[in-house]
Each structure stands twice: as C-alpha cells, then as structure tokens.
Structure 1
C-alpha cells in the first residue's frame, strides 16, 4: 500500500529579523563614525585655537620693557650758557626677565608735560604717519639720526621732534640690533631719545653733543623745573611701561639732570 506523502513548506522568518538587525547595526556604526569624525575635527580646531591663545597670552605677559633710568639734557651754547628747560630726554631701556623680543619699530611713546602730549613712533616706522622720519637712514649712525630728529621737518606730518623718537644701542651681545631693524632681545640695553625742545630753547647751538646751530625744532613740550612728566611706552604686544616723575626745583649749572628713578 502506497503511503501518502505530504509535502510541507516551512516558513522561517528568523533570517529576515537578523538582516534587519544587521542593517540597524551598520547604520549605528556609520553614525558613530561620522560623529567621531566631527568630534576629532572639532577637537583639532579647539586645540589649535587654545595653542594660539596660549602663545598670545604668554607674549602679552612676558613682553615687557623696563625703564632703567631717564636723564634730561639741556641745550647750550657753552658751559655757562644753558637753556632753562630740559631739551632732550634719554631713556635707558632694557627687557624684563624672560621677556620675548620687542620690536621698537612698533613701539609708541606717549609723553606729556601736563599741558601738551606727543605720541611718538620710531623714526623708521612708515605705517602710522604714512611717512617715516625724513632723512632717516638705516645705514647712518644713531648720532646722525638723532641730529635729524632735532633739526629736520617735513610736509607730512611736520617737525620730526613732535612725532618721532630715535634709538642708540648700548649693549647688543648677538649684534642683531640695528637702526633699520631695532629688535631688542634678552640682555639688550638701549637709549631712546625723545626731543623736548621748547620754543625758548631754539637759539642754542648744541644739544647732547649734537651741533644744531640753532636750527632745532619745537617739540611742543615744555619741561622746566617742577614739571610733572608722564611717559607711557606701549609695545606691539605686552603690557605698557609707565614712568612718572617731577623735575627738580632748579637745574643749577648741570647740563645733564637725573630725572628717574
């Protein structure tokens, strides 16, 4: 007797459920990968910004000029004929311990006698007044450029004495400081010259060893006895350096007067 054979079809949906789970898993992996990529990119940008901010903050804190002393020089004809006012300020300036290099070409010096204020830039700087100091020479000596500071004028911005200062190096171990590239490094020491010629000093023939032949220009400052003088040195980066002093009650017969500290 022949047995009936029954064909049975088995339906198994477990494989379909497995494929769906796999698809969801792959999607989650892709999403996680994209998210990780975004996080890595964002963390990289933040790291760069943090490093840049850190460098700038360090530079702001560490770039400091230090005024060692300030002397005033009177214009004269001879040892017995001198101006009643200080005609030239000599600032001896160095760098603070651990300071970053400071470019004096970007330094701004504000000096006031209590009545008038001059904002001075380095004589070779052509970015502030659109013109550097007329007849300034990077190849010339500091003495020559000081003479031009005291005696020369130009159409723009006007008398050099009112708008510029010059610098002479005292100590420069690595021989990197020059008139054309006045960058101070650790250990450097310089003298910054600021004209203080007043209209009553114009007839004298010599200022600080510089022969002016009476052609010096009025600086718009008047630093006589008992005058309160304020100087602010603002570098390109770092804290400003401030010096304030009151001139002596009498200059006597001295050509050079110690004013600060």
Structure 2
C-alpha cells in the first residue's frame, strides 16, 4: 500500500520583518521630525510677535500725559491797560502714575477756538517743517538752553523752514518746573515719572498784535507780537489735544470766563 506523502506549508506571518517595513518606519520618523521642526519654528515666531504686540500695547496704555492746570495770560502795557483777549496759554503738564517716558519733541498739540485750528510741534523739532533731506525744521533762533528766550521768539518771530511761517501758529515751547534727575532740557525734552513742565501756547489775537503791547507775562514782546490766528475773547470754547508718539491722546476743554476783569492771569482749567 502506497504511503500518502502530501506536503502542507504552514503560513505564519506574525513576525514578518523585511526591508519594506524598515523603509516605512524610517519615512515615518523623518515625517515626524519635519513636522516637529515646523511646529517649533511657528511657535517661536508667534511668541516673538506676541511679545512685540504686548510691549506696544503696554506703551499705548501706560504712556499718558496729564494736563493739571491751564492759565491764560493777557498782553499789557501796564496793570490797567491790558488786551481784551487771552494771548498766551500756560499748561502745567505731568505724567500719569506708571507712565513710560514721553519725548516732548514728538508731541503734537492741536488747539482750536471753534473758528481757527492750529497744529503745533515743539520748537526744537528739526524734522516737522524741514525740507526733504534737510535738517532745518526747528524754530529760527531756537536756544538749546534758554527757555525764556524761546518763549519770546515764539511770540514775536518768524521761521524760514520749508517756507516762511509764523512761530505763533506752528510751534510751542516748554519750561521745566520739576526735574529730579536733571534729564529734561530744551534740546532733549524727555519727561520721566515725576517730572513737571510748563507748555507755552501762543494765542495772540489780531487785536493784541495791532495794539502793540510790549509785555506778555514775563516775556518782553516789544519787538512786536505775531498773530496766532486764534481769538480767545470771553466765553470762547477752547479744545486742546496733546498727542504723544505712543500712548493715548490727552484732551483738555474749557470755556473762557464771561469777563476777564482786571486780571492779567486767568485760571481756565480745571
């Protein structure tokens, strides 16, 4: 009797290992590495942008000027012969608590009496009214050390920048009141926390100019006042906006009294 010698193959695939599996494994590792590198780079870029945005947002919130008081001064020839208009504004300005330093050289002041609006820059700013590529935009005869001289020049002078302009309706000047660290100067007017300054804004009227008053506050204006285009008669509504380089703008509104009486200096704000 012939024996049955049929062969049977045992199919066992539980431990299949080969070059194909190895290639697939390496490819998966490479893909994971590339994906991880992309994620790390993206997260780093987002972090830098978030830090930059946060810093800018902090500056916008914390860099705030604060107008404490505003006084108006009338031009005069004597204690009994004074202008019918306010011809000079003296703003006492400081910084809010926790504010970042503010470069006054970059602060733009807008003032309007309801009829005329002036946009003023700091008298020592060499760029605002300069011709392209030139460095001559500051107020002519600007002094880097003498605040009183700058005030007189503001009230009586003209400037030949990109064109001939009146100082009174293009510039403002400043004078420090409190500066503990001696960091504030006419040529580098940077305010730190605790600093207090006076900002001078010319509001000379046509009437005051034609009357030839020789004195305006502490300034000798015998050389002749220059008109600002503003006319601050009694009951005039005045709006002033101080816009720094960064941070929120500061607004100060007031209505002039119904009569100036015999006062040379008039309290206007608050």
Which category describes the TM-score, using the shorter chain as reference length? over 0.9
Aligned residues: 249
CA distance in 2, matches of 1:229, 1:215: 25
What are the equivalent positions in structure 2 for 1:35-184 lying under 5 Å apart? 35-130=35-130, 131-138=137-144, 140-155=145-160, 156-184=163-191
Q: What residue is the counterpart of 2:21 in the other structure? A: 21
Shift of 1:152: 0.8
Shift of 1:93: 0.3
The two structures, once aligned, show a CA RMSD in angstroms of: 1.6
Q: What residue is the counterpart of 2:7 in the other structure? A: none
Q: What residue is the counterpart of 1:191 in the other structure? A: 198
Shift in alpha-carbon separation, 1:19–1:157, aligned structure 2, 3 A: farther
CA distance in 1, matches of 2:119, 2:177: 24
Q: Secondary structure at the match of 1:167?
A: strand
CA contact (8 A) 1:152 1:159 kept: yes
CA contact (8 A) 1:165 1:192 kept: yes
Q: What residue is the counterpart of 1:260 in the other structure? A: 269
CA contact (8 A) 1:204 1:214 kept: no
| TM-score scaled by length of structure 1 | 0.92
Q: Secondary structure at the match of 1:242?
A: strand
Q: What residue is the counterpart of 1:236 in the other structure? A: 245
Provide, for residues 102-146 of structure 1, a one-character-per-residue CA deviation record: whole Å limited to 9, x for no partner: 1110000000011000000001112221111111121x3111111
CA distance in 2, matches of 1:214, 1:77: 13
Q: Secondary structure at the match of 1:82?
A: coil
Structure 1 residues not aligned, in runs of 5+: 1-12
Q: What residue is the counterpart of 1:5 in the other structure? A: none
Structure 2 residues not aligned, in runs of 5+: 1-12, 131-136
Shift in alpha-carbon separation, 1:154–1:87, aligned structure 2, 3 A: same
Shift of 1:83: 0.3
Q: What residue is the counterpart of 1:227 in the other structure? A: 236
Q: What residue is the counterpart of 2:221 in the other structure? A: 212
Q: Secondary structure at the match of 1:78?
A: coil
CA contact (8 A) 1:129 1:157 kept: no
| TM-score scaled by length of structure 2 | 0.89
